[in-house]
Amino acid sequence: SYELTQPPSVSVSPGQTARITCSGDALPKKYAYWYQQKSGQGPVLVIYEDNKRPSGIPERFSGSSSGTMATLTISGAQVEDEGDYYCYSTDSNGIQRVFGGGTKLTVL
């Protein structure tokens, strides 16, 4: 079955740039989506269709995709950005959906 691979953890100091990667064979052809999940809360969409930001999401969140890797970038990460981040996409047939394993972002 199709898989998306993320690093288990990323740690940055406040104000630094955090980059979270997501690797998958179908990403050259399929969009990546990114979710933020804070402790005890439901998932929140922060990036859709590779690089689009939903209204209400701070401008410091951006997304990109090149080849088999999608990247979520948080420019000037803040303490309130701590949480788990998941990429989401589909297989090459557009049928099976999948989440990456999640990346725990620590900002301290």
Partner 1 sequence: EVQLVESGGGLVQPGRSLRLSCSTSGFTFGDYAMNWVRQAPGKGLEWVGFIRIKANGGTTEYAASVKGRFIISRDDSKSIAYLQMNSLKTEDTALYYCSYRTGQFDYWGQGTMVTVSS
Interatomic CA distance for residues 85 and 77, integer angstroms: 13
Q: Which of 62, 84, 92, 106 binds partner 1 (CB under 8 A)?
A: 84
Interatomic CA distance for residues 69 and 42, integer angstroms: 25
Q: Of 17-25, 48-56, 58-66, 70-78, which segment contacts partner 1 by CB under 8 A?
A: 48-56
In this structure, what token pair is assigned to residue 84?
A: 């788990």
Q: Which of 10, 74, 86, 105 binds partner 1 (CB under 8 A)?
A: 86
Q: How many helices (H) and strands (E) does the chain have?
A: 0, 9
Tell me which residues touch partner 1 (CB under 8 A).
1, 35, 37, 42-45, 48, 52-55, 84, 86, 88, 95-102
